[in-house]
Amino acid sequence: MADEQIKENPVERKHVYSRGAEHKELIEDNPFVDVAAFLFLEDIADKQGAAGMNNYLMSLATSLAKSMPEEKYDTWEQFLEAVRRGESTISTFENIITPTENCIVTTKCPFSRAWSEYTRRIGHFSKIHYDVAEYYNSTVKPGAIDTMCIIHQTFRSASAERIKVGGRPVRYAQIACVSPEGAKKIAPEEWLPILLEKAGITKTEMNMALRNNTCLWILYKG
Amino acid sequence: MLDVALVSLIQDMSEKAGVEGTIQYWTRVGESLAKRMGKEAYIGWPSFNVALREGRTAFSIEGEVSALTDLAITDEDGDVVGYIYALKRCVFQPTTLRIRYSVGELPKADQDVAREYNNSVRDTAVCNFCVIHQKFREEVAGNITVAEQALECMQLANRGFIGETKIAENALKKIGMNPEYVRSLLRNYSCVYALLMRGARLKGEVKDK
């Protein structure tokens, strides 16, 4: 009987390594830790300025990605399934949908709860978070609205570097994002056609996705 | 995600600035968070305890806090000068769980920071986050007045994620409370502290003299 069951259920689930996504849904954020994290970053900015804070944010996001296990998949479909299930490191912290095989849409910013707790309990989000993003946009890559985007985008990039599909590395690129207060940041006009082509969506579809989601990005084979 | 990234930063910072540097950072953040949440005034203990239960005080950011009103703290004249409060779930627990299911294990710096704090400041930390958390409570207490008197917070006991406990026996002696009783509270709560009027002449302190 047991043998028959095994035959009827071949290795369909061989790439499902974790039940982590199920567990994570049960874990609620604690506002204290989130608000304290922002103040911790502000304290660093007080001492080291926007450039120093930017370096810290990029460093912490990179070291977070490096502390997570490397991944390899045989096919893009297997990888995409892991991304959809939140089992790949690159999507472990966010809820996503995948309109095409390369386009990923984050439905809710994983930092939005922290931001709303901050604004509710402390007041206006400190200006330094936007100043550092401006520094990042002008010196690293133009895609951030605030410090949360720097952490998130750097993490995705560092995480993608640790994933191989069919022996080739995965690449990440940011297209657009919308902050919790509604500010929008879209990739430079000259980059957009190439990015949208890789994503397999039009500019109109991009704007439609941004209306009620928070982040639009792509993953592709390097 | 921010909390998991923060723990990664703690590891990074502890390697670069040492665990003492991380403790200094956390202490400053605890002060700054309390300061930015502002001052509060209550006409008496019942109004403060109601505000706490309804999540209106600065302490409410920690989550579900119970005022153990059967455990009143009295001064040498027998007047009520404070109460014992208990936090249902450690503020750091969701982060610990999230790290467990996304990264795998907490970085070494978590316990290194707690150990250094226990050795150099006060033996009451079970994880790195206790450093900011306990400082935050002390500062918030100073920003709240009950019957026009500023409060003081005393850390009494806490329980970590893997069950390790810290019991502040000296503080318990001051308020005349049995350590075994507080230990039994840790079965249902993760952190127990006292809020009392600053400068109150406690029975335990009088006995010491």
Res B6 pLDDT > 90: no
Q: Give the nearest partner residue to A39 out of B5, B33, B102, using CB atoms.
A: B33
Does residue B7 surpass a pLDDT of 70?
A: yes
How confident is the model at residue B8, as a pLDDT? 83
d(CA A49, CA A131): 10
Contacting residues of B for A68, CB less than 8 Å apart: 102-104
Whether the Cβ atoms of residue B154 and residue B168 lie closer than 8 Å to each other: yes
pLDDT at A197 over 90: yes
Q: Under an 8 A CB cutoff, do A43 and B25 touch?
A: yes
The token pair that represents B150 in the structure block: 């500023």
Q: Which domain holds residue B113?
A: 2-208
Q: How far apart are CA A85 and CA B45, in angstroms?
A: 49
Condensed to tens digits (0 to 9), the pLDDT of residues A64-110 reads 999 888 999 999 999 999 999 988 999 988 889 999 999 999 999 98
Q: How confident is the model at residue B101 (pLDDT cuts 50, 70, 90)?
A: confident
pLDDT confidence of residue A157: 96
Distance from CA of A8 to the nearest CA of B (A): 31
Mean pLDDT, rounded, of chain B: 91
Exposed (0-12), middle (13-18) or buried (19+): which is A41, by Cβ within 10 Å?
buried
B25 chain-A contacts, CB cut-off 8 A: 40, 43-44
Q: Do the domain assignments include residue A22?
A: no
Closest by Cα among B94, B93, B87 to B185: B87
Query: How far is Cα A91 from Cα A77, in angstroms, rounded to an integer?
Result: 15
DSSP A155-198: HHHHHHTTEEETTEEEEEEEEEEE-TTS-EEE--TTTHHHHHHH
| Chain B: closest CA distance from residue A214 (Å) | 15
Using CA atoms, how far apart are residues B90 and A23, in angstroms rounded to an integer? 18
Instruction: Give the percent of chain A with pLDDT over 70.
Output: 87
**H/E run at residue A3:** helix A2-8
Chain B environment of A36 (Cβ under 8 Å): 6, 29-30, 33, 132, 136
Q: For residue A10, what pLDDT is reported?
A: 42
pLDDT for residue B207 is more than 70 = no
B46-74 residue pLDDT tens: 999 999 999 999 998 999 999 998 889 99
Q: B73 to chain A nearest CA, in Å? A: 27
For the segment B84-100, the average pLDDT, to the nearest whole number, is: 90
Overall number of domains in chain A: 1
Q: Where are the alpha helices (DSSP H) in B150-202?
A: 169-175, 179-185
CA gap B84, B193 in Å, rounded:
6
* pLDDT tier for residue A1 given thresholds of 50, 70 and 90: very low
Nearest to B2 among A24, A111, A122 (CB): A111
How many angstroms separate the CA atoms of B89 and B192, rounded? 11
Rounded-to-integer distance, Cα A114 and Cα B11, Å: 21
A10 or B115: which carries more pLDDT confidence? Answer: B115
Test mutation, A60, A91, A156, chain B, max B CBs within 10 A: A60
Mean of pLDDT values over B75-104: 89
Distance from CA of B206 to the nearest CA of A (A): 36
**CA atoms of B53 and B36, how far apart (whole Å):** 22
Torsion (CA) A123, A125, A126, A128 in degrees, nearest 10:
180
- Given a cut of 50, whether residue A172 has pLDDT beyond it is yes
Percent of chain B with pLDDT over 70: 97
pLDDT at A213 exceeding the cut of 90: yes
Considering only alpha carbons, which residue of chain A is nearest residue B35?
A122
Q: Which helix (H) or strand (E) element contains residue A48?
A: helix A31-66
* Residue A51 lies inside a defined structural domain of this protein: yes
The radius of gyration of chain B's CA atoms, rounded to the nearest angstrom, is 17
User: pLDDT value at position A16?
Assistant: 47
- What confidence tier does B98 reach under pLDDT thresholds 50, 70, 90? confident
Q: Please write the tens of the pLDDT for every residue from B146-187.
A: 999 999 999 999 999 888 999 999 999 999 899 999 999 999
Is residue A116 one of the residues assigned to a domain? yes
Number of structural domains (chain B) is 1
State how far residue B109 is from chain A, nearest Cα, in angstroms: 13
Give, to the nearest 10 degrees, the angle between helix A203-212 and helix A192-199: 80
> Which residues, 6 or more positions from A122, have their beta carbon under 8 angstroms from its beta carbon?
A35, A39, B33, B36, B37
In percent, the amount of chain B with pLDDT more than 90 equals 66
pLDDT at residue A49 is higher than 70: yes
Confidence of residue B16 (pLDDT cuts 50, 70, 90): confident
Count the neighbouring beta carbons within 10 Å of the beta carbon of residue B135.
Answer: 21
Question: What is the span of the domain harbouring residue A137?
Answer: 28-221
**Which amino acid does the sequence have at A105?**
V
Cα torsion B183, B185, B186, B192 to 10°: value is: -100
Give the residue from A53, A58, A64 with the most B CB atoms within 10 Å of its CB, the best one to mutate: A64
Domain contains A10: no
Give the residue, B106 or A192, on which the prediction is more confident: A192
* pLDDT bracket for residue A11 (50, 70, 90): very low
Note whether A67 and B8 are within 8 A (CB).
yes
| pLDDT band (50, 70, 90) for residue A24 | low
At A9, the pLDDT band (50, 70, 90 cuts) reads very low
What is the rounded average pLDDT of the residues A53-61? 91
pLDDT of B100 reads: 83
Determine whether the interchain pair B6/A111 forms a contact, defined as Cβ–Cβ distance below 8 Å.
no
